[in-house]
Structure formats: C-alpha cells, structure tokens
Amino acid sequence: MQLRRAEAEVSERPANDGYRGRVQRLSKREGCSARFQYVPSMANQTWRVGDVKITKLVEVEFTFPSENAGKIVPDADPTSVLAIPWIGPFATPEGKLRGSVHFLLVQTRSARIIVDTGIGNDKTRDLPLFSMRTTPVLDVLQDAGWSRESVDHVICTHLHLDHVGWNTIRRDDKWVPTFPNAVYHFGGRDYEYFDASTSPARRAMFADSITPVVIANLASFYVPGTVAVPELTADPTPGHTPGQNSLIVQSRGERIVIGGDVMHHPCQVAHPEWSSDLDDDAKAAEVTRRAFLDKLADTETLLIGTHFAGPTAGRIMREGNAYRFEPDAGVEA
C-alpha cells in the first residue's frame, strides 16, 4: 500500500509502537522530522473478532485542551491527568490529552462497513480543527482496496460533526454521498433530535452531511438491536447525545465494543465523573458511562474508543472505586 503524507496536527509523537514505527520509516524515506510528520495509515491498528476484522483509519490526531480543538474534558487538569499511573500513552509529558478522530473499517465475511466517518473535507465549522480540511482519507482508503463504491454500509454512532463528515463530499458546489452504493444507518432518535435543532452550527452540519444522504435515498434509521449485519448490535448509550449507540461486534463467541463518545479519553476510565463539555446531558452521560464501564469491567471484551489516540483499544479492569484501561496492541493487518 502506498503511504501518503497528510498535514501535521500532532504536537507530540504518540507512544504506540506500531504508530512510531510507521512515522519513523516515513521520516527516514522523506528526510523529514518525525515530530511534524503524520501519516494516516490503514496499517495503523487492526483487531479481529472471530471472522470480523476491524481496522482503524486515522483522520487526525491532536492534543487538548487547545484553541484548535477546545476543552473536551474540562475537569482533566494536568496534575490530575498525570496522577493516573497508566496514562502514559494517552497524554503528553505536560499532562495534555491526546485525541484522535478515526474511522473504523469493519470487514465481515459478507460486507464492508465504515463506523463513523470523521470530520470530512471542505466543510465550514466553528473550531479550526474541524474546518475546511484537506485530508487525503479517500486516497488512503482507495490505496488499501476500499474504493468508495465498494463500501456496503456506513453506521454513525451518533450525529455529531466529527462522526458524519465523510458521509458526503463536495462536487460542483453540491454535497453528494461519498459512498454511492452504501446504506447509511443513522440512529432514529438522534436523527429526530438533530433535525429539530435550530442551532446554526447543527443546521449546517445537517445540511452538508445528513440531508444529502436522505435525498439520495441512501439513509436507513436504526433502533437498538441488530444493525446492518448480524454481527453488529446497536446498544444505547444516551447522554452525549440523546440517541447515541455503542456498537457491539460479535463473531464466533468473541466480542468487541465500539464505544461511540460514551468517553472521549481514557482518563474518563479512571474518572467516570469527568463528563465532556460536548455532552448534551452531562449527568446522563455520567450515569451511562458508569454503567458501561461496570458492564465491561474484568471481562475479555475489548473496548475501541472512538477518540482514543495511539493504543485505541483495551480492556477495562476494576481499580478501587474506578477503573483502569489496559491497552491491547491488536494484530498484524
């Protein structure tokens, strides 16, 4: 697979070994500083669940709080972050948090599914990190054999702008579905909620990333339960948005959970009481997060975080009154 270079958004190099190896190989080849190189790569990380393969495709990594990305987890002050003994791969030495926006490519025996479609290109947004991007995500997909036409399903865990962006691309000043042969699955509850919003930012997101899919007759609206393929189950995790769902992937007795934004960062595993300023209902989000962690704790089920940078997947272990996140390296692609 040919690697392509994207703009640098990381201020620090993530600690994940696979990621570091890839960055260093590119720097050597192109004679650039690894500090300012960032390569979204299909080979980034892959996990297997029975017959299903899940691959992370990074659109951007960043640190927060920052002017670029906002606060996201306001209670996570550097001192409290650095007091978490296992936080190393997920924070800078100064106690800033590392974040990521990525797709998850789910390959079953019979279908290709993209879970959450990131930020997208050419879209006007309030925060600089999200606005008028020019990331070569589709080239990376194509290079890996995932042409736009080959995608069977798109599933959005919820309808925030960093989960629906690549639903559409701009063609001749019109927004058209990026994946013309896919069924796009939107949670019915979130669709109703955001469709009724009068916020200009949400109206803009809806107009450029959701409505064109509906007009093209590619939208389907899911409720909790099986979605798109038998291996995927939508599990409600309300609070971040009213209709957010996590996705449980099951095959041959194995299981992985794609969290959605039930957490934005692993520090919330240690501090479930830390909600995000992006949560629609912070209290409901905390209740959901505690129940979610309780259900996963001390099981073999991997959690894949939708914004966890570097080692994106891991297991939840009980520790005192809270929990610990034990990263899992995944398998070779």
Between residues 26 and 72, which has the closer beta carbon with respect to Zn ion? Answer: 72
Question: Rounded to whole angstroms, how far apart are CA atoms 214 and 201?
Answer: 19
Q: Give CA separation, 18 vs 21, 42, 44, 316, in Å.
A: 5, 12, 7, 22
User: Of all helices (H) and strands (E), which one includes residue 290?
Assistant: helix 282-296
Give the tokens for residue 57. Answer: 């495709």
Minimum CB separation from Zn ion for residue 304, in Å?
A: 13
- Find the shortest distance in angstroms from Cβ 70 to Zn ion: 11
Cα separation, 63 vs 129, in Å, equals: 11
CB of 28 to Zn ion, least distance (A): 33
Applying CB under 5 A, the residues found at the interface with Zn ion are: 162, 261
Return the number of the residue (235 or 261) whose C-beta is nearest Zn ion: 261
In angstroms, the CA 8 to CA 62 distance is 9
β-pair type (254-258, 302-304): parallel
Q: How many other C-beta atoms are found inside a 10 Å radius of the C-beta of residue 307? A: 26
> Which CB sits closer to Zn ion, 9 or 261?
261
Q: Please, which residue, 108 or 241, has the CB nearer to Zn ion?
A: 241
Nearest CB to Zn ion, comparing residues 212 and 305: 305
Minimum distance, C-beta of residue 121 to Zn ion, in the bound complex (Å): 17
Smallest Cα–Cα separation from 202: which of 215, 190, 218, 186? 190
Instruction: Select 144 or 278, whichever has its Cβ closest to Zn ion.
Output: 278
Q: How far is the CB of 261 from Zn ion (least distance, A)?
A: 4
Shortest Å distance, C-beta 79 to Zn ion: 26
**For 91, phi and psi rounded to 5 degrees?**
-145, 160
